[in-house]
Structure 1
Amino acid sequence: MHLTSRRRGAELEDAILAAGWEVLTEHGYGGFTYEAVAARAGTSRPVLYRRWSQRHDLLQATLRRNWMAQPIAVPDTGDLREDAIGVLRNADTARSHMITTMSVLLLEYFRETGTSFSELRDVLRPPGLATPFERLVARAVERGELTAAPRSSRVVNLPFDLFRHEMFMTLRPVPEETIVEIIDDVWLPLLDRRGS
C-alpha cells in the first residue's frame, strides 16, 4: 500500500476547503457534512472538528477561500465611467458563476440559520477593506472628477447592488448593455446630483 506524507497546517487546510467546495457544488448544503468533506479531503472528521466546531464555520471558511481566490480586478484608467464599467465586467467574469451557484445551493443554509446573502457577504468580506466602488469614488475625488461631497455607502456601492439583483433575478451573467445602463443611467447621474 502506498502511503502519502501526512499533510499539516496550511496544506491540510487548503485540501479540506477545496474538498468542501467540491462537496458543496456537487451535493448542495444538505450534502455538505463533516463526513463528506473529510472523505473527499482524505482526512478524518476529528481533524475538521478541531478547526471548525460548527458546520456553519466550515461552510463559511470554504466560501471565504473560494470568494477570495477570485478577486475582482479594479481598473485604473483615469476615468470614473470606464473604471466603473470595468469593475462590473470583471465582477461578471470572476463572480457570476459563484454568486448564482451560492444563491441556489445555500437556500437551506439561509433557512436554517435565519440569515441572508447580505449577512453572509459581510462575513466573507475582509474587515476594513474598501469596496471596489469606494476605491473608484475616492480616486475620482482625488482627480477632481467628483467633488468631495459626502456620499452614503448605499449610493457609492449601488452598482454592485443592482448588478447582484440582476444576477439573482436571472441566474445568468449580466449582459454588457445592462452593465452600461447601471453605470450611465443610474449611478453617474446620482453621483453628480449628490456631488453638486
Structure 2
Amino acid sequence: MHSVVPGLGTQTTERRADGGATRRRGAELEDAILDAAWDVLVEQGYHGFTYEAVAARAGTSRPVLYRRWPQREDLLLATLTKYWQLIAVPDTGSLRDDAIGFLRNADADRAGMITLMSVQLAGYFRETGTSLGELRETLLPPGQATAFETIVARAVERGELPDVPRSSRVVNLPLDLLRHDMFMTMHAVPDESIVEIVDEVWLPLLGMPGSP
C-alpha cells in the first residue's frame, strides 16, 4: 500500500516477514525503482518497459513513477543514466598504452551495454527517430571530453604528439571501430583486434609508429 506523509512525499510500504512494515522513500525508493526498471528493460526490452511492469517489479504503484518521471522516456533515460558508468581512462604515460588500456576497459565494461542498446532499444530508436550515438551523447555529462580527446591531450602535453588541429573523427576513431566490431559480432572484441586498431590504424593516422 502507499501513503503520503506531510513534508516527506510519497512512501512505499512493504510487509516484512514478521508482519511489520518497512517504508522506502527518497533516494532509497528511487534506487529500487531504477533497479527494477533495469531488470525489466534487460528481460523484456523497450516494448515491455512499461510503468505497469516497472511498478510491479519495484513493489510500488504507477502514480509513484509518474510523479518522478512523467514520460516513459524520462524513466528510460534515468534508468540508463544510472547504469551508464563512465569508463576509466588510464594514465600510463604512453599514448599507445593509454589507448589500448582504455579500449580494453571499454571492451570489458561496455560490450553488454552495447548489445542491450542495439537489440533491446531498437523500438525506442524507431519510436523517437533517434540513434545510439544521440542517446550516448544524452547520457554523457555536458561538456565532458571524450576519452580519446583526453588521451590525445595528455600525449600533446607530454610531447608525444605535436600540438596541431585534429578532426574529431580521427581522434575518436579507436572507440568507433571497437563499437563497430561489437555491433557486428554482439560479443566482446578479442584483444588482438584491440591492439590492431591502435597499432595498425590509429597511430599511423596520427603519424606515429605502432608497437615497438
Which bin holds the TM-score, normalised by the shorter protein?
over 0.9
- Percent sequence identity over aligned pairs: 72
Distance 1:145 1:27, change over 3 A: same
Which structure is larger by alpha-carbon Rg, 1 or 2? 2
After superposition, residues 95-114 of structure 1 pair within 5 angstroms as 95-114=110-129
2:88 is matched with 73
Equivalent residue letter for 1:93 = A
Equivalent residue letter for 1:51 = R
Q: How many residues align?
A: 191
Please give the alpha-carbon distance, in whole angstroms, between the structure 2 residues aligned to 1:3 and 1:116. Answer: 47
Deviations 1:91-140 (A, max 9, x none): 01111111112211011111111111011111111111111111110110
2:132 is matched with 117
Q: TM-score, normalised by structure 2?
A: 0.87
Please give the alpha-carbon distance, in whole angstroms, between the structure 1 residues aligned to 2:105 and 2:146. Answer: 14
After superposition, residues 106-145 of structure 1 pair within 5 angstroms as 106-145=121-160
Please give the alpha-carbon distance, in whole angstroms, between the structure 2 residues aligned to 1:151 and 1:49. Answer: 45
- SS of the counterpart of 1:73? coil
Equivalent residue letter for 2:53 = A
- SS of the counterpart of 1:53? coil
- SS of the counterpart of 2:24? coil
- SS of the counterpart of 2:93? coil
Task: Give the unaligned 5+ runs of structure 1.
Answer: none
Equivalent residue letter for 1:24 = L
Q: TM-score, normalised by structure 1?
A: 0.94
Are 1:14 and 2:26 counterparts? no
Which structure has the higher relative contact order (CA within 8 Å, separation 6+)? 1
1:84 is matched with 99
- SS of the counterpart of 1:59? helix
Please give the alpha-carbon distance, in whole angstroms, between the structure 1 residues aligned to 2:53 and 2:189. Answer: 33
2:80 is matched with 63
Structure with greater strand share of residues: 2
Deviations 1:6-51 (A, max 9, x none): 2122111111111100000111111100011011111111111111
Equivalent residue letter for 1:63 = L
